Each structure stands twice: as structure tokens, then as C-alpha cells.
Amino acid sequence: DTEVTQTPKHLVMGMTNKKSLKCEQHMGHRAMYWYKQKAKKPPELMFVYSYEKLSINESVPSRFSPECPNSSLLNLHLHALQPEDSALYLCASSQYGDMNTEAFFGQGTRLTVV
């Protein structure tokens, strides 16, 4: 199983809503990542979890709150988002966090903030 599963595939939320994006992998990977991708742009790193601890936060606004409940799961909690936060949110995982190993991406969650 080399899959990274993201749910939901699509999400529309209002600026006052609270929602969560979920990511799951069963490859035994110890590093998991959240990326944000705008149309026709490369993915931008948001957060890195290594061994279930937050190791990188790329100065992401506090309205995005990551959580790693266990080594297989990664959540991204969303609150009071802005329309400019609309994007494709990608989760990825790799065996270790040093980027010497293959990174597998999920299919993404298409988020629209209205």
C-alpha cells in the first residue's frame, strides 16, 4: 500500500465555519507534510511533522492548526479562513523527515472559502 488518503476531496466553507482536513497513510512513514497549492503554482510547504512532533511551521497563519494524533494520521483544522485561502491542500508522507527518501502525495482536498 503506497497510498496517502485525503478526505474530503472537495470542501466549501464559509469564513465563520470550522472544518478539518484529514490525511492517512499506512506505509509506516514517520514524516508527514501539509502543502498548499494555488492554481498553476508549485506546492508551498506549510507544516512538517516528524515522529509525531511538529518540526517545521512555515509561518502559517494561526487560522490553520495542524494535529498529528498518531503516526498514521495528520489533520489540518481550519477556522475563520479567508477567500484567499482557497486552494488545493496536499498531504504527503516520507519514511523519514530528511527528504532522502521518496515522498508520496495524496490526491488533495480542493478547498473553497466563500
Partner 1 sequence: KNQVEQSPQSLIILEGKNCTLQCNYTVSPFSNLRWYKQDTGRGPVSLTIMTFSENTKSNGRYTATLDADTKQSSLHITASQLSDSASYICVVSARLTDKLIFGTGTRLQVFP
Cell of 107: 490526491
Which runs of E-coded beta strand occur in 26-72? 31-37, 44-50, 53-57, 64-70
β-partners of residue 22 are: 7, 75
x/- binding map, residues 13-52, to partner 1, per CB under 8 A? ------------------x--------xxxx-x--x-x--
**Number of residues that this document lists for the chain:** 114
- Tell me the number of residues near partner 1 by CB under 8 A: 27
x/- binding map, residues 71-90, to partner 1, per CB under 8 A? -----------------x-x
Cell of 92: 504527503
> Whole-number minimum distance, CB 14 to partner 1, in Å?
22
Among 4, 78, 81, 111, binds partner 1 (CB under 8 A): 4
Three-state DSSP class for residue 23: strand
> Whole-number minimum distance, CB 89 to partner 1, in Å?
10
